[in-house]
Amino acid sequence: MDKKHLVIGVIGADVHAVGIRILEFAFREAGFEVTNLGVMVSQEEFIAAAIETDADAILVSSLYGHGELDVRGMREKADEAGLEDILMYVGGNIVVGKQPFAEVEKRFKKMGFDRVFAPGTPPETDIYYLKKDLGLLDAAETETGRQPEAENTGREEQI
């Protein structure tokens, strides 16, 4: 695989550190170069790191429920910084209260995120979509990927 660079971190005032370390490990094992910004990361820090590392994707995590507030305007800031083509993913417990995932996903995509992941999404699903969106899937991975696509499509559960 052509090494692609990811910038990952936990946005806002969120201090949940374990999950982002697990994702960092999984992404590295899958062949990605990873810059892990850790916790309590601002939008500006994500964007600056993406520019500095010539990243292919920004992956934003949030577990404390305020991700929706923390990421507002992030796509616009990335575009203004010259990152119009960068992939942007968001995942975790990204909203307050129980809400249908399909509605949450729609709102985040409207904010400019390419993919939205519910709490508990396995790293393998993130990796599959990264490879798919970056044009890195081989034939076997494309076949295997039908399962994550089926699991992630038309979710009705509340998150």
User: Which residues are known catalytic residues?
Assistant: 14, 16
The closest of 138, 146, 98 to 118, measured between CA atoms, is: 98
The span from the CA of 75 to the CA of 91, in Å, is 15
Residue identified by tokens 């520019």 is 51
The Cα angle at residue 11 between residues 113 and 28, in degrees rounded to 5? 75
Burial (CB count within 10 angstroms: exposed 0-12, middle 13-18, buried 19+), residue 64: middle
